[in-house]
Structure 1
Amino acid sequence: MRPAPRLAALAATAGLLAAACSAPSNGPAAPADDTFVIGLGSEFDTLSPVMGYAPDGGSLIYEGLMSRRADLSLAPAVAAAPPVVSEDGRTVTFTLRDGLKFHDGTELTSADVEYTYEAVLDGANNSPIRGDYAAIERVDAPDEKTVVFRLRHPYAPLVQRTTLGIVPEGAPPAGDRPVGSGPYRFVSRTPGDKIVLEANRDHRAGAPALGRVVLAFAEDDNVRATRMSAGEFDATILPPRAAARFEGQGGVTVHTVPSADYRGIMFPLDHPVTGDRAVRRALGLAVDRQAMVDTILAGAGTPAFGPVSPDTSWHNPEVTGAPAGDPGAARDLLDEAGWKPGEDGVRVKDGVRASFTLMYPAGDSLRKELALATASDAKAVGLDVRLAGLDWDAIEPRMAEDALIMGYGSPYDPDYLNYELFHSSYARQGFFNPGGYDDPEVDRLLETGRRSGDPAERKEAYLGFQKIVHDDAVWTYLVFLEHVYVIRGDYQGVRPGVEAHEHALGGLFRDVHTWRPAP
């Protein structure tokens, strides 16, 4: 692959860093022209699986017991085969592959698996994903190749949760010098700029064709598009309109991939305006989701009315609405709830103006445009939505007071994300349930879905959960996205599939270790 001059220099720098910082490699050093630079829109908070890095398997550094194919099905990774589950669903047994090694050359055994999960469950580590594994009573390693999960109760999503990366026994939970068994080994990290990885030439599936991968961070969508055009990136992910310039461009491929990734408005529920369900429901009626899809997404998406994608079998078909909105019904609802138009057109109730702030991350052009469209539709029914583009450090402390354009969504089991976003035990825990939603029936349904081993009972629980959350208008859901990737060059092994809202190296890039330049 032809590198731009900057990339050649970057590869040379990475080679020096590898010599200084990385574990020795048994294979030859990657040549300078073998560097592949991926532009990502957000930086990782951590590189430690214990602390929540890539729990769904979107990592090149680590491997879990299981991995996920592009079609969302599970395949053995560190495990030699799918697990054996006891009749009561409370014992899940894995057998590990032979000959597995970490990047530092040490053998990967069941003791490492046991340590990884115990570290997640250790309250002293304060892992943000600890609640996802709360069904685990203990993990046993009766011999070097056997791992046994003992569960407090049946937990249907457990096997899906075992995509969590395995770390060496005794590894510090912070993971500042990550060591895994994946197709790439860690070389260096420059905070705010990039992470450099090099091929693990001893990987169980063979050495990746791309000898070095650089993950470069550029939060601003327009900056990523510009750097892609300038040849600084070999691949990136962009909003549809920002990617449009690359359509039909020679030597560049644009991939549009379906996802369960949504954008919606999270409301602070103690706010004098957004705490009123009538206001929230009216906004949901007022917004023209179809126009957002047609214009902001350039057709690369669908209207959203709830947190579960209609493309999954878990979706409740009652959770829907008019894609183009119904501003007349919104005005009627506000009138009935006592929100009357004031002299300036903004509605008022008991001396309170129907005004609130809607935040969005300043570098995210897609969320900015969704916020602008929402404010325009809201104004037409007498709601004053004031916009604030901020960085995440400024956004997080204000989420209990101001609304926020958020992104989440998963095509996996509905226990994913929904428990943390809507169960009262997670109220105001960072970006989990930041609005403080608390409904005992929703709690009960989410707990039933998490604990039951009966597929029919689980399905009913999640259908009921969706209906309540929709009727309460806890969020105003706007759109489900199609993810748009731009890749320079022609590669074999690029496998689009249904995607989640990823904060690790997920989506199309999760299989970059299988890509090979086309002959």
Structure 2
Amino acid sequence: MTARSIRGVAAAALAGTMAMAVASCSTPSDGKGGTAAGGKDSAVVGIAYEPETLSPLLGYGKDGNSKIFDGLLTHDAGMKLRPALAAKLPEVSADGKTYTYTLRDGVTFSDGKPFTADDVVFTYETILDEKTNNASKAELDALDKVEKKDARTVVFHLKYPYAPFAERTVLPIAPKHVAEKQDVNSGPFTTHPIGTGPYVLTKWSKGEKLVFKANPHYWGGAPKVKNFTMAIIKDDDVRATRLRSGDLDGAILPPNLAATFKSDQDKKTLAAKTFDYRNVTLPTANKVTGDRAVRQALDLAVDREAMVKGILDGAGKPAYGPVPTDSPWFAKGTERPHDLDKAKKILDDAGWKPGSDGVRVKDGQRASFTLWYLSGDKLRQEHALAFASDAKKAGIEAKVESGTWEAIEPNMKNDAVLAGGGSPADPDFDQYLLLHSSLAGDGFNNMSRYKNDTVDKALVDARRTDDVTKRRDAYNTVQRELVKDPAYVFLTHIDHLYVVKDQWKDLTTQVEPHDHGLASGPWWNVEDWQPAK
């Protein structure tokens, strides 16, 4: 087999990502009380979202940095791939369809059992099993089979040369000797995981906290932070209050709340560049948002610059699609200006005429729909209200409602949602799940139930080649098509802000995906933290 190093393939696949790190945080006993922070070997951080599962077989940690688990590869601060459970970066065949990984020696799971090639094969085969409820299964569409060559060698065979496949192997590896004996979807492994990672989960109080202790036998070296707690605090204001009271050592906060800590001498604010966007879903089943003219008008009526300035306090940028404007994957010329007059003309020409109350009407149908946002999320609330205000100026009524995801999800077929997404690893990771018609209505994938044959073809073409030029052309096609036929109204790309105690030195952040919290922020590498004094 003629082989080429993954370094060349990774360089091509990552050519369009943002490779930067922002350089620039210990803890009550249970992460809940109001006492001052504890010793130098402990930390408590406040996060906004709680995982539904801790099983990588069901999607947990698929972007890396899961704390409990390791993947074959991981990312460094600059988002470059480096070995983890693999001893080195993989060798890739000349046709781009075979990836060979040599595994690291001497690695054990936290229960003392050895890590082997069997665990890798089991993990990937289980995820692909039709009985496994993994919403990200489509991300491994290119994988034909995975085989154990010997105890320390695993070979992946692809159906087609999928350029970012190595990025998929940051996916955490589950222990076969534990997980195969259980129901993959509901067994105890989903809440009591065993992995090879730097930390061991000791307690998960749903809706409250996840408590970890350092794994003294971690192959990468025992962490200095011996006790680590992630306090689950969905309300932004409450998270800020608990940080201010000394209950937390660090937290993710929206810009307006992060700004209130500027004069606090013992805290620092760290910013993480992201691919994280906020958008409004436009369900095609709805008689209003399903009308292309309404979608086009809303896309022009929103004032993105005002949202960046007023909501984000400048910590972000306007979003015209899933790709940030400063990414090499962004299609120049697809920026949409705020043009209320043009929005009104599109609606006039399509037969949507102003009614007596200012809301447009067509064939007896009022241009009105419900827009949901996640309760307790100030950024989503403010985006939703700003969107509704801009829509009203064009004669479209967006009735804003808040609720939990349990309340929102049953209504997603007909109601709009202030949603979010974004992945920096590769354009395929977010766009295929967001836009391909085969995933319409599949949970939180393709929430607008969008169907566009040109977009479908371009998405498939882009993932079935490792030619960078062809991939860029395909993603340019997707972005230009979204100008003509919006699937969503994209509003902003958001920088994540973290306020942390000034107790640890040389902290960094990565370029982050939408799914932030457990593995993002300054604690993306908490196992490497060193005391400042």
Which TM-score band applies after superposition, normalised by the shorter structure? over 0.9
Q: Which amino acid aligns with 1:117?
A: Y
1:179 aligned residue (180, 184, 194) = 194
Q: Which residue of 2 aligns with 1:415?
A: 428
Q: Which residue of 2 aligns with 1:53?
A: 60
Q: Which residue of 2 aligns with 1:292?
A: 307
SS in 2 for 1:415: helix
Q: Which amino acid aligns with 1:276?
A: D
Q: RMSD of aligned C-alpha atoms?
A: 1.8
CA distance in 1, matches of 2:84, 2:63: 13
Paired residues of 1:305 and 1:319 also in contact (CA < 8 A): yes
1:25-66: CA deviations, max 9, x gaps?
A: xxxxxx976331111101101101110001010311110000
Taking structure 1 as the reference length, the TM-score comes to: 0.93
Q: Which amino acid aligns with 1:474?
A: A
SS in 1 for 2:495: strand
2:256 aligned residue (237, 241, 248) = 241
Q: Which residue of 2 aligns with 1:320?
A: 335
SS in 2 for 1:85: strand
Q: Which amino acid aligns with 1:404?
A: V
Q: In terms of mean alpha carbon deviation, does 113-122 or 312-321 score higher?
A: 312-321
Counterparts of 1:5-16 in structure 2 under 5 Å?
7=31
Residue 206 of structure 1 pairs with residue 221 of structure 2: yes
CA distance in 2, matches of 1:80, 1:388: 50
CA distance in 1, matches of 2:442, 2:356: 39
Q: Which residue of 2 aligns with 1:72?
A: 79
Paired residues of 2:40 and 2:225 also in contact (CA < 8 A): no
Counterparts of 1:112-123 in structure 2 under 5 Å?
112-123=119-130
Deviation at 1:223, TM superposition (A): 1.1
Deviation at 1:328, TM superposition (A): 1.2
CA distance in 1, matches of 2:303, 2:32: 47
Paired residues of 1:490 and 1:517 also in contact (CA < 8 A): yes
CA distance in 2, matches of 1:488, 1:349: 56
Residue 479 of structure 1 pairs with residue 486 of structure 2: no
Structure with the larger RCO, 1 or 2 (CA within 8 Å, 6+ apart):
2
Residue 496 of structure 1 pairs with residue 509 of structure 2: yes
Q: Which residue of 2 aligns with 1:269?
A: 284
Residue 97 of structure 1 pairs with residue 107 of structure 2: no
Paired residues of 1:306 and 1:477 also in contact (CA < 8 A): yes
Deviation at 1:401, TM superposition (A): 0.8
Paired residues of 1:54 and 1:503 also in contact (CA < 8 A): no
Gapped regions of structure 2 (runs ≥ 5): 1-24
Q: Which residue of 2 aligns with 1:24?
A: none
Q: Which amino acid aligns with 1:512?
A: V
Deviation at 1:506, TM superposition (A): 2.6
Gapped regions of structure 1 (runs ≥ 5): 12-30
Q: Which amino acid aligns with 2:54?
A: L
SS in 1 for 2:94: coil
Deviation at 1:410, TM superposition (A): 1.4
Q: Which amino acid aligns with 2:260?
A: R
1:111-169: CA deviations, max 9, x gaps?
A: 11111111111111132121111211111112111010011111111100000001111
How many pairs align?
498
Q: 1:286 to 1:122 in 2, by over 3 A?
A: same
CA distance in 2, matches of 1:295, 1:313: 27
1:450 aligned residue (463, 470, 482) = 463
SS in 2 for 1:314: coil
Q: 1:277 to 1:232 in 2, by over 3 A?
A: same
2:364 aligned residue (332, 351, 360) = 351
2:524 aligned residue (472, 490, 510) = 510
Residue 156 of structure 1 pairs with residue 160 of structure 2: no
Taking structure 2 as the reference length, the TM-score comes to: 0.90
CA distance in 2, matches of 1:402, 1:236: 32
CA distance in 2, matches of 1:88, 1:362: 49
1:196-228: CA deviations, max 9, x gaps?
A: 110011112211111011111111111111111
SS in 2 for 1:345: coil
SS in 1 for 2:473: helix
1:61-82: CA deviations, max 9, x gaps?
A: 1100000112111011001111
CA distance in 1, matches of 2:504, 2:55: 30
CA distance in 1, matches of 2:26, 2:376: 30
CA distance in 1, matches of 2:129, 2:30: 44
Q: In terms of mean alpha carbon deviation, does 401-410 or 119-128 score higher?
A: 119-128
CA distance in 2, matches of 1:169, 1:447: 32
1:142 aligned residue (143, 149, 155) = 149
CA distance in 1, matches of 2:527, 2:249: 15
Q: 1:112 to 1:4 in 2, by over 3 A?
A: closer
Paired residues of 1:109 and 1:144 also in contact (CA < 8 A): yes
